[in-house]
Chains A and B, each alone.
Chain A
Amino acid sequence: MSLVERENTMRDLERVKFVTENYEQLQGLRWVWIGLYFCLYPLFILAIPSTVVSVFWALPLTALFVVIAAGMFWAQRAIGRYYKRRFGEVRHKRWTDTFTLPVIASLIVLIAAFFVNETIHPPVDLALLGFGVIMLVVFWPDRRFRIHYLVMMPFFVAASFLPLWGVWSTGWSPDFGSGDVFPLFLGLYWVVGGIFDHLLLVRTMKSVPEEADGGAV
């Protein structure tokens, strides 16, 4: 049943507003691919520790990752076109307007956490812990619609304590350091969040048969 057929309760209208405001971010399948790419990186590090990779192999392996990244970027654009064809297009303010204070503050927190990880080697992975806290702050206002990020958050915070048991070391490590782990969690964030965001979008929108809309009004 469509939103309008269900009668416009305030909640439905707030959902309309939320989906319109966050239409691009809710196109979750776009981010799933990028997430998979980031998940691939630590698995690669685990499979081939840096001490084993010779200079001879470093260049082709880097080239391979660049090619995969280019493929993911292409896939992201192609999926964007799919959403546009299926659900239409929304125009928002320029992307620079979305670069708000919370986004800048989040980046500063993450960079600071990485710096402390690398220099002091704290017993807890501060980058991952910081990421969990940022998720809580950013997604708390959207909790009615995007609760999945808040469900993911405790796992991230809990995982940040794993270095206490030597699962990985904070800071740089020749084998497996926090710099190698972070892309895995960032990737998981995009994969899981992307799937649930996509489901939220699909549940809200009604697919319209593909046809030109010429002369619609």
Chain B
Amino acid sequence: MAEPFEELAGLDRLIHEPARLAIMTALSASEGADFLFLQSLTGLTKGNLSSHLSKLEKAELVEIEKKFVDKIPNTYISLTKKGRAAIGEHWERLYRLRNSTKQ
């Protein structure tokens, strides 16, 4: 079993940033969500959320789809296969860390 420090060092910094961790966690609990939902849930500004999503998209962790719903633009975000695996692993590490600090 890895030591707590090793677990901590192994955390993916791209995902572990608070806003991105919240975004990834929300997306992992669903098939996907629209921009407005993520903005409401995280409380981030539009620009801030866009910037975080761009970073996640660049790392191929999320997929961004733009479409029109009733003539209104709608941005829909979902996790890629890689993203789903990454957030799953990240949560496992967090739980292991929490358990190791309890011991």
Q: Are A and B physically bound partners?
A: yes
Chain A residues close to B by CB (< 8 Å) = 1-5, 7-8, 10, 12-13, 16-21, 23, 86-93, 204-208, 212-217
**Contacts A16-B26, A214-B73, A217-B57 given; does A89 touch B42 at CB 8 Å:** no
**Contacts A7-B18, A213-B34 given; does A87 touch B40 at CB 8 Å:** yes
Residue from the set A17, A208, A214 with the largest chain B CB neighbour count within 10 Å = A208
A204 and B41 form a contact (CB under 8 A):
yes
Main secondary structure of the interface of B (DSSP, over half): helix
Closest CB of chain A to B24's CB: distance in Å? Answer: 10
Q: Does B21 contact A (CB under 8 A)?
A: yes
Q: Does B86 contact A (CB under 8 A)?
A: no
The one of A91, A92, A215 that contacts B73, using a Cβ cutoff of 8 Å: A215
B43 and A2 form a contact (CB under 8 A):
yes
Main secondary structure of the interface of A (DSSP, over half): loop
Chain B residues close to A by CB (< 8 Å) = 18-19, 21-22, 25-44, 46, 49-50, 53-54, 57, 64, 66, 72-78, 94, 98
Between-chain CB contacts (< 8 Å), 7 pairs: A1-B43, A10-B98, A13-B22, A20-B29, A89-B37, A91-B31, A91-B78
**Contacts A4-B22, A8-B18 given; does A20 touch B33 at CB 8 Å:** yes
A213 and B36 form a contact (CB under 8 A):
yes
Query: Can you list the 6 inter-chain pairs with the closest CB atoms, starting with the nearest?
Result: A2-B43, A214-B73, A88-B37, A88-B36, A20-B29, A206-B43
Closest CB of chain A to B26's CB: distance in Å? Answer: 4
A88 and B73 form a contact (CB under 8 A):
no
**Contacts A4-B19, A92-B30, A212-B72 given; does A20 touch B41 at CB 8 Å:** yes
